[in-house]
Amino acid sequence: MQAAFPTTDRRRAALFASLPGAQGMASAALEGMGRVWTDSPAEPGCAVAAAGDFLLCGGRPGLSAAHLLRHAVRQEKREWIISGSDAWLALAERMLPVERITRWAFDHHVQPEDRRLRELLTNMPEGAEFRPIEGEWIGWCRRQAWSEDFVSLYSDESYARRGLGFLLTVDGEAVAGAGSYVSYPGGIEVQLQTREDQQGRGYAVLAAARLILAAHERGLVASWDAASPASAHIACKLGYRPAGAYQALLVRKT
């Protein structure tokens, strides 16, 4: 009988070691910022994790893979499907209304140099300053469509304990920000957003530089995965090392 077994066993993160991008997402799911299912409670061969906007498929997709993926899709409505195995992607294409989209991965083991980040921050525009996302700013981010993903996967208490983020304000008005989309042991996944009417002014680079410096001060890795050429360009400007483009699946809304 096929079944999907929920797990919080951190050892199951090894099943997702071949993910081409979003490497910290599966670990975050196992830490409670999502959910993970395996095909066996004792000796799993494959697994599906749901975290944020992502379904992450790991391990070798055996006979139970279709059942696992179907169960995860029923439980969790997610936007992206990522796997290091083309067999997983092909399986999802047969089951779901998806299209292949290029994303860009970056080697999170090679972090931007703090010296470079500080140099970028010398170009702050007049009237600009950073506000940590803490206290009342957590709720403020939840109420704005453009900033809600900085905190959407946390409760207020868990964000205060595990989250990290900064809003860039100009003359007291928030125009951009960068935050921990998820937190996992030893790191964060970077979420970057500029208010729509303020794009194209370099604010995203400044916000990201501030966040990454703060992560390094805490001894954290700041992982970056890009869904667009613009995001990939910012990552390179900050000093991330490209790990190559890869194919992911975007679930079409029906």
Mean pLDDT over residues 181-208, rounded? 96
Question: How is residue 69 written in tokens?
Answer: 């993926």
Q: How far is CA 67 from CA 13, 37, 76, 164, in A?
A: 20, 11, 14, 36
**What is the dotted CATH code of the domain comprising 5-104?**
3.40.630.110
Which homologous superfamily does the CATH classification assign to the domain defined by 114-223? Answer: Gcn5-related N-acetyltransferase (GNAT) (3.40.630.30)
Task: Give exposure, 167-200, as e/b (b: 16+ Cβ within 10 Å).
Answer: bbbbeeebbbbbbbbbbbeebbbbbbbbbeebee
In this predicted structure, which of 10-24, 153-167, 206-220 has the lowest mean pLDDT? 10-24
Q: How many angstroms separate the CA atoms of 86 and 104, rounded?
A: 16
Percent of the chain with pLDDT over 90: 91
* b/e per residue 56-80 (b: at least 16 CB within 10 A): bbbbebeebbeebbbbbbeebebeb
Over residues 45-69, mean pLDDT: 94
| % of the chain residues with pLDDT over 70 | 99
- The one-letter amino acid code at 175 reads V
pLDDT of residue 1: 47
Q: Do domains 5-104 and 114-223 have the same CATH topology?
A: yes
* pLDDT for the residue 2: 66
Of 50, 38, 105, 47, which Cα lies nearest the Cα of 74? 50
Average pLDDT (189-208) is: 96
What is the per-residue pLDDT across 99-145, written as a single tens digit (0 to 9) for each? 999 999 999 999 999 999 999 999 999 999 999 999 999 999 999 99
Domain ranges, ordered by start, for the chain: 5-104, 114-223
**For residues 171 and 118, what is the distance between their CA atoms, to the nearest angstrom?**
22
Question: Does residue 77 have a pLDDT over 80?
Answer: no
Average model confidence (pLDDT) across the chain: 95
Longest CA pairwise span in the chain (Å): 64
